[in-house]
A = this chain, B = another copy of it.
């Protein structure tokens, strides 16, 4: 049985949903494992893969499972997960926000035709020199988005 939220990652990973992983994920940052958080956590990290979702996409995935979660709660929960350090919000196109379960520093592929976001292999990115932060400022993050056009 395939996962409802399909990843576009190149490696074929395990598909077993593990509720413990979701519970641990929430527990690691002291977030209460409510029904809706567990539903969303299962969709996000239940099979151990990293995911890039939009609020609307995650809402629909939950709706398609037999465990619906309200759209407002999806928004609030994604925000809570980000604030807790479980996920990262990524902005690539003006309209919607993407949320990434992969917290490591890594570049992204943005597929312009489908408006989807996937991880780019970080070991294949090598930045030799970076502009230095102007006086009085320091670099808090470097976002690299590789925009892809279908050939």
Which residues from chain A sit less than 8 Å from chain B, CB to CB?
10, 89, 91-94, 96-97, 107, 109, 111-112, 120-121, 124-134, 136-151
> A124, B129: Cβ atoms under 8 Å?
yes
How far is A125 from B120 in the complex, measured between Cα atoms in Å?
19
- Given A89-B94, A91-B92, A91-B94: A140 and B131 within 8 A (CB)? no
**This chain's copy number in the assembly:** 2
In the complex, 22 of the A-B residue pairs with CB atoms within 8 angstroms, ordered by the A residue number, are A89-B94, A91-B91, A91-B92, A94-B96, A94-B97, A111-B137, A112-B140, A120-B131, A125-B129, A125-B130, A130-B146, A133-B146, A136-B150, A137-B149, A137-B150, A138-B148, A139-B146, A139-B149, A141-B146, A142-B144, A142-B146, A143-B145
Chain B residue with Cβ nearest A119: B131
CA–CA, A129 and B96, complex, Å: 29
Known contacts A138-B151, A144-B143, A145-B143; is A124 also within 8 Å of B133 by CB?
no
Question: Shortest CB–CB separation between residue A150 and chain B, in angstroms?
Answer: 6
Task: Write the nearest CB–CB distance from A100 to chain B, whole angstroms.
Answer: 13
